[in-house]
Amino acid sequence: MGSAADISEIRQAIAEHKGCGTSGGRGKASCGSQAGRGDLPTAIWEKVKNHPCYSEEAHHHYARMHVAVAPACNIQCNYCNRKYDCANESRPGVVSEKLTPEQAAKKMLAVASTIPQMTVLGIAGPGDPLANPEKTFKTFELVAKAAPDIKLCLSTNGLVLPDHVDTIAGLNIGHVTITINMIDPQIGAKIYPWIFFSHKRYTGLEAAKILGDRQLQGLEMLTERGILCKINSVMIPGINDQHLVEVNKAVKLRGAFLHNIMPLISAPQHGTVFGLKGQRGPTAQELKALQDACEGKMNMMRHCRQCRADAVGLLGEDRSAEFTTEKIMAMNVKYDLKTRKAYQAKVEEERVAKVAAKQDQLADLAGEMSDINLLVAVATKGSGLINEHFGHAKEFQVYELSKSGAKFVGHRRADRYCQGGYGEEGSLTMIIHAINDCHAVFVAKIGGCPKSDLIKAGIEPVDQYAHEFIEKSAIAWFKSYLEKVQSGEIPHVERGGEGIRQGALVSAA
Amino acid sequence: MPFKIIASQCTSCSACELECPNVAISEKGGTFVIDPKKCTECIGYFDEPQCVAVCPVDNTCVLDNSLPRYQARA
């Protein structure tokens, strides 16, 4: 390490160079998020354009898979319990079966030939990939050999990251996520009971200090080598919620590309320390407020679904059950690069059409003076379209509408309201609760009963844009909303808060 | 000779297997076991038994009281 002043200058330069710039302002949710490419340099755009986690826009179109080859971990986190696993449980650290590197490579081929829009292979545990370096790197080698077009991605707690940066760069792993929950050991000691480092268990402040230092050092080393870094932070109310603004500054300074602040998942039945202690997670509004506070300083990821370490498919869906070891070993797979390319070219056409449609609609908003800004919920199953039935939606995507356009700001869980064709009243109440801060909900179709209940709750069900592009439709609806408000036809009323605790999807697709 | 793993508490994470300096730990029937003939309690290698230090579940890697303590050969 050089002198503090030197390092800080270098970091600033890196930050300006590697990040997506700081000037985006309100309209910029995440890199390339809203209008696709945004102000990204070509080299970075090439890296993120079909990575669903690094580009909000890409996550409507491209899929990822995680292979669970790394079970061992070298730290203990109070929000994690490795003992618990359930096939219907979707959250980080959970898997149904471990794979060998060879099985993982085979699984990748099976998934790639079934889901041609699968572009990213990630290793995210269920432990720490770098605590299992042999299996992790062997898997990446095999995958790169079998499918050179697949992007390689890694997620780590960062403790031993500095020791492996050269291997990561050498294997062409272009994306690395580091989970950083604190830069202050006092706070870290409340999150991490211990770490295992250099053959020794450290606890308390000492453990948190080593971990924090190693994380930031690893981040610097990666960004110096041009590797895109995403920072994951778990928002734990009362422990690190305020502090994450400081974390945001620290990682931005070191050239991190994207910051993903996720809500704590702490159901008591998961058996985590936080869960058993009754530590609550943040509400969707608290989460959004923190993300908004960090935005402008840096690109924020708001489309994270906190997936399993063996998740497969688009974010928000999980097809891992289709690809169990038993099934993939019986599959006869051939890697068909040509078909994949052709399919992805079609996806790109769709994307271009979507952006163009939105631009047209945006032009219509030009000159709009209203300061009204509101949220709407959207039922979608991908491709950036309003293409999901209200009753089938497992989640709703939330867009913020203002005179600057439509901006993706998050998603709300709605574990199936409709089971076998008829709605259950309890779950409808839950959905209304979950999207209670939204003015409207856009759906492909909706039954009469939920429709009238939504209207009663003050949420307008909108089905006139079925199977059309989300952003274009939302802007068109917003424009007519503003006109109605202006003409006095309807009053604009602020919506109340939502009440649901954020969390990952519980039901598998 | 003496550490053992309490199978009902083992998460099968394999962390101990990777740290054991004696290659005494292996997977058997879904959880991990320590070969008592190979375990040296890490004496001569590290200040603390590595399986105990890295195990995510407290009191899962424990001394096997049915066996005599390891004696380092002079």
A352 vs A360: CA distance, rounded Å: 12
Among the partner residues A82, A126, A199, nearest to B50 by beta-carbon distance: A199
C-beta atoms of A82 and B11 within 8 A: yes
Mutate to test the interface with A, among B8, B10, B14 (most CBs of A within 10 A): B14
**By C-alpha distance, which of A145, A150, A153, A148 is closest to A173?**
A153
The 3-class SS string of A148-165 reads: CCCEEEEEECCCCHHHHH
- Selection from A45-49, A92-96, A495-499, B41-45 with the highest mean pLDDT: B41-45
Model confidence at A95, pLDDT cuts 50, 70, 90, reads: low
A127 and B13 within 8 Å at the Cβ level: the answer is: yes
Q: Is the pLDDT at A509 greater than 70, yes or no? A: no
pLDDT (0 to 100) of residue A15 = 46
- State residue A19's pLDDT score: 41
CATH class of A367-506: alpha beta
Domain A61-329 sits in CATH at 3.20.20.70
Q: Looking at A171-229, list the stretches that DSSP marks H as alpha helix, in order from N- to C-terminal side.
A: 185-191, 204-224
Under an 8 A CB cutoff, do B18 and A200 touch? no
Q: State the angle between helix axes of A133-146 and A101-114 in degrees (0 to 180), rounded to the nearest 10.
A: 40
Give me the residue from B14, B46, B48 closest to A72, CB to CB.
B14
Average pLDDT over residues A199-217: 98
Q: CA nearest B11 in A: which residue?
A: A83
Where are the CATH 3.20.20.70 domain residues in chain A? 61-329
Residue A450: pLDDT above 60? yes
Question: Out of A10-19, A27-36, A208-217, A221-230, which region has the weakest mean confidence (pLDDT)?
Answer: A27-36
pLDDT above 50 (res A200): yes
Mutation for testing the A interface, residue in B54, B55, B57, B58 having most A CBs under 10 Å: B54
Give the pair of three-digit tokens for residue A39.
């102000």
Q: Are A303 and A56 a contacting pair, CB within 8 Å? A: yes
CB contact under 8 A, A82 and B56: yes
Does the pLDDT value for residue A125 go beyond 50? yes
Q: Is the pLDDT of residue A438 over 60?
A: yes
For A386-401, write each residue's pLDDT tens digit.
999 998 888 899 999 9
The pLDDT value recorded for residue A421 is 39
Residue A30: pLDDT above 60?
no
pLDDT of residue A173: 96
pLDDT grade, residue B1 (50/70/90)? Answer: low
Across the A:B interface, residue pairs with CB atoms under 8 Å apart total 46
- Residue A330 confidence (pLDDT) above 70: yes
DSSP summary character for residue A384: T
Total-model pTM: 0.84
- Is the pLDDT at A153 greater than 90? The verdict is yes
CA A486, CA A403: separation in Å to the nearest integer? 14
Looking at chain A, which residues constitute the CATH 3.30.420.130 domain(s)?
367-506
Range scoring the smallest mean pLDDT among A157-171, A276-290, A495-509: A495-509
Q: Which chain B residue is nearest to residue A197, measuring alpha carbons? A: B54
Q: Which of residues 89-128 of A touch B (CB under 8 A)?
A: 98, 126-127
Q: Flag the least confident range among A7-16, A90-99, A234-243, B46-55.
A: A7-16
Residues of B at the A interface (Cβ-Cβ below 8 Å)?
Answer: 11-15, 17-19, 46-48, 50, 53-54, 56-57
List b or e across A181-216, with b for residues whose CB sees 16 or more CB atoms inside 10 angstroms.
bbbbbebbbbbbbbbbbeeebbeeeebbbbbbebbb
| Nearest chain B alpha carbon to A196 | B54
Pick from A462, A496, A477: nearest CA to A401: A477
What pLDDT digit, counting tens, does each position of A283-296 carry?
888 999 999 999 87
Task: Read off the pLDDT of residues B12-59 as tens digits, 9 standing for 90 and up.
Answer: 899 999 999 999 999 988 889 999 999 999 998 999 999 999 999 999
Q: How confident is the model at residue A332 (pLDDT cuts 50, 70, 90)?
A: confident
Q: Which residue of B has its CA nearest to A129?
A: B15
CA A501, CA A282: separation in Å to the nearest integer? 6
Taking the CA of residue A74 and the nearest CA in chain B, the distance in Å comes to 7
Our separate counts of H helices and E strands in chain B read 2, 4
Rounded mean pLDDT, A175-183: 97
